[in-house]
Amino acid sequence: MFPQKKSKSLTIRHDVQQLIVSGRTEALASSLQQRIYLHEQLYFQVSDLSVYNILVPLKVKHGLVSIEHIHSSLRSVIEQYTILRTAVYFDQVNNQIEQHVQPLTDDIYSFQRSQGISTSQQLDDLLMSESSRKYFNVTKGKVIRCHVVQQSTENHDHLLHQGDFIIFNFHHIAFDVSSVKPFLIAFEQACCTDDHCQSTLSIPQYIDFALYEQALLSDINMNSKMNKARRFWSDLMHDYDWNCIRRLVPEESTNNQIRSGHGLSVAFHIEQDIVDAMMLFTSSNNITMFSLSLACYYAFLYKLINDEDLCVAGVIANRSKEEMKNMIGMFVNLVPYRIRIQPNNSFFHFVQKVHQLCTDVLEHASLPYQQIIGIQGKQEHHVLPSSSFQYESLMSTLTQSTSTELIVSDDCVLSPLNDRNTLHGNGTTVFDLTLTVSRDHYARTMKCFLDCSTDIFQNQNNVDLLANRFKHILRQLFCSTIVDEPIRNQCSISISNLSLILPEEVEEIQKVIFHRLTTIENEESFIVSAPASYAQARTWLDERIRFGPNKPQVAIYNMPFQYRLFSEHTLSIKRLIHALQLIVLKHQTLHTSLVVDSKENQVIQRIIDLNTNHEQILSVIESIYETDEELTEIMHDEKRNPQLFNLAQGLVFRCHIVYYKQISSNHLLCDKDVLIFNFHHALFDFPSMNIFLHDLNQAYTTGHLLYDDNTNLRYIDYAVIEQQTSMTGASMFWLDVLHDCKLDQPLSLPYDRYRLSNEHRTGRGTSISFDFDQDLSHDFLIHASSNNISIEHLTFAIYFIFLFKLTNGQTDLCVAMNINNNRYRDELKSIIGLFENVIPLRCQLDPRWCFHQLLEHIQEITINSMKYSYFPLQRILDQHAHMSSPVFLDTSLEFISRVKNNDNNAMMIGDSQLVPVSFSFNINEDEILSASDFSVSIQHNTNMNQLSYTINASLDLFNVETICTIAQRLQTVLQQQFTSFDSKTNKPIYE
| Chain segment 521-563, per-residue pLDDT in tens | 666 678 899 999 999 999 998 887 766 555 556 788 999 999 9
Instruction: In the chain, count H helices and then E strands.
Output: 27, 35
438: β partners: 392, 447
Query: How far apart (Å, rounded) are the C-alpha atoms in residues 579 and 327?
Result: 92
607: β partners: 592
433 φ, ψ (degrees, to nearest 5): -145, 120
pLDDT of residue 782: 85
Domain containing 144: what range? 1-218
Strands 412-416, 406-409: pairing kind? antiparallel
Asked if residue 337 is part of any domain, the answer here is yes
Q: How many domains are there within the chain? A: 4
Same domain, 195 and 89: yes
Asked if residue 734 is part of any domain, the answer here is no
Same domain, 27 and 132: yes
Asked if residue 637 is part of any domain, the answer here is yes
The low-confidence residues of the chain, meaning pLDDT below 50, are: 1-15, 253, 396-402, 483-488, 901-904, 920-926, 983
Asked if residue 959 is part of any domain, the answer here is yes
pLDDT of residue 313: 96
Same domain, 343 and 467: yes
pLDDT, tens digit (0-9, with 9 covering 90-100), for 418-454: 767 777 778 889 999 999 999 988 888 999 999 999 9
Same domain, 500 and 548: no
Asked if residue 868 is part of any domain, the answer here is yes
Asked if residue 171 is part of any domain, the answer here is yes
CATH number of the domain that 500 lies in?
A: 3.30.559.30
Alpha helices in 321-366 (DSSP H): 347-363
Same domain, 484 and 550: no
Query: How far apart (Å, rounded) are the C-alpha atoms in residues 1 and 379?
Result: 9
- CB contact burial 850-860 (16+ within 10 A = b; e otherwise): ebeebbebbbe
What does the DSSP 8-state code read for residue 253? -
Q: Which helix (H) or strand (E) holds 450?
A: strand 445-453
Asked if residue 316 is part of any domain, the answer here is yes
- CB contact burial 219-251 (16+ within 10 A = b; e otherwise): beeeeebbeebbebbeebbeebebeebbbbbee
pLDDT of residue 979: 64
pLDDT of residue 491: 64
635 φ, ψ (degrees, to nearest 5): -65, -40
Same domain, 153 and 104: yes
Query: How far apart (Å, rounded) are the C-alpha atoms in residues 226 and 209?
Result: 16
pLDDT of residue 884: 83
Same domain, 484 and 552: no
Same domain, 484 and 549: no
pLDDT of residue 9: 40
Domain boundary among 449, 471, 506: 506
Query: How far apart (Å, rounded) are the C-alpha atoms in residues 372 and 377?
Result: 9
**pTM assigned to the model:** 0.82
CB of 621 closer than 8 Å to CB of 657 = yes
pLDDT of residue 149: 95
Domain boundary among 506, 539, 566: 506
pLDDT of residue 476: 93
CATH number of the domain that 208 lies in?
A: 3.30.559.10
Same domain, 134 and 277: no
Same domain, 497 and 548: no
Asked if residue 724 is part of any domain, the answer here is no
Same domain, 184 and 268: no
pLDDT of residue 485: 45
249: β partners: none
Please tell me whether residue 926 adopts helix, strand or coil conformation.
coil
Strands 602-607, 592-597: pairing kind? antiparallel
Domain boundary among 218, 235, 250: 218
658: β partners: 623, 674
Question: Which stretches does DSSP call E strand in 626-685?
Answer: 653-660, 668-669, 674-680
Same domain, 449 and 553: no
Query: How far apart (Å, rounded) are the C-alpha atoms in residues 774 and 668?
Result: 44
